[in-house]
């Protein structure tokens, strides 16, 4: 499998923000979102065996692992990695929502994007994935402006959502978090404002 990087850091997003964990970033993505902050993961990386990946992960002391990308579900070996890791770790999968999650091990906590129009990729959402989500999973909307916010609100009204956690994330450096917070409060939405706190801590450094 082609691996972009494996490192330990503070989880910056989701309901687990602030928790130290291991990140396995796989190479390759089938989308090209307007605000992408990991373009280096489109192509950079090296081919590693599953055994080498697991050995590196087990060298860290943390019990949480997030598998991300790029888009990790493009790699067939990721399913075997997840099946093995759930035996020793709490596993999170960050996915862009364009590929079926039906085969993902049910012990894995999925954090799935719904792409808004501002991403330029909203037509690539695989809506069937909503029926495969579990209550423990999380749904994330990255918002670039008020139009994205209104689109996300309408999406939630028009679809059955099983998950407990719905994340509204302002695109870093594009949408002011204070504005988004005001909209959420004004509309009384039961969502979580999702800031990328690793960026506020480390900036745009890689591998942290």
d(C-alpha 180, C-alpha 31), whole Å: 25
Residue 84 is labelled as binding a ligand: no
Q: How many CB atoms lie within 10 A of CB 80?
A: 14
d(C-alpha 171, C-alpha 63), whole Å: 29
Residue 12 is labelled as binding a ligand: yes
Residue 4 is labelled as binding a ligand: no
d(C-alpha 22, C-alpha 14), whole Å: 15
Residue 37 is labelled as binding a ligand: yes
Residue 36 is labelled as binding a ligand: yes
Q: Tell me the angle at which helices 50-58 and 78-85 cross, rounded to the nearest 10 degrees.
A: 40
Residues near 198 by beta carbon (within 8 Å), at least 6 away in sequence: 9, 10, 11, 12, 13, 208
Residue 35 is labelled as binding a ligand: yes
The token pair that represents 114 in the structure block? 């719904």
Residues annotated as binding site? 10-12, 25, 29, 33, 35-38, 68, 70
Residues annotated as binding site for [4Fe-4S] cluster? 29, 33, 36
Residues annotated as binding site for substrate? 10-12, 25, 68
Residues annotated as binding site for S-adenosyl-L-methionine? 35-37, 70
Residues annotated as binding site for Mg(2+)? 38
């Amino acid at each position: 499998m082609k691996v972009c990087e494996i490192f330990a850091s503070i989880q910056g997003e989701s309901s687990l923000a602030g928790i130290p964990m291991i990140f396995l970033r796989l190479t390759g993505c089938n989308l090209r979102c307007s605000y992408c902050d990991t373009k280096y993961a489109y192509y950079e990386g090296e081919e590693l065996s599953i055994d080498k990946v697991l050995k590196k992960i087990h060298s860290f002391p943390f019990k949480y692992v997030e598998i991300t990308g790029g888009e990790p579900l493009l790699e067939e070996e990721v399913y075997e990695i997840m099946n093995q890791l759930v035996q020793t770790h709490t596993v999170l999968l960050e996915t862009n929502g364009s590929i079926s999650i039906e085969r993902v091990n049910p012990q894995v906590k999925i954090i799935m994007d719904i792409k808004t129009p501002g991403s330029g990729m909203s037509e690539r959402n695989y809506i069937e994935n909503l029926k495969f989500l579990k209550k423990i999973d999380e749904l994330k909307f990255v918002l670039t402006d008020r139009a994205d916010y209104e689109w996300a609100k309408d999406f939630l009204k028009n679809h059955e959502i099983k998950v407990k956690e719905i994340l509204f994330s302002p695109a870093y450096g594009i949408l002011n978090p204070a504005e988004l917070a005001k909209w959420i409060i004004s509309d009384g939405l039961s969502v979580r404002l999702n800031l990328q706190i690793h960026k506020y801590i480390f900036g745009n450094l890689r591998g942290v």
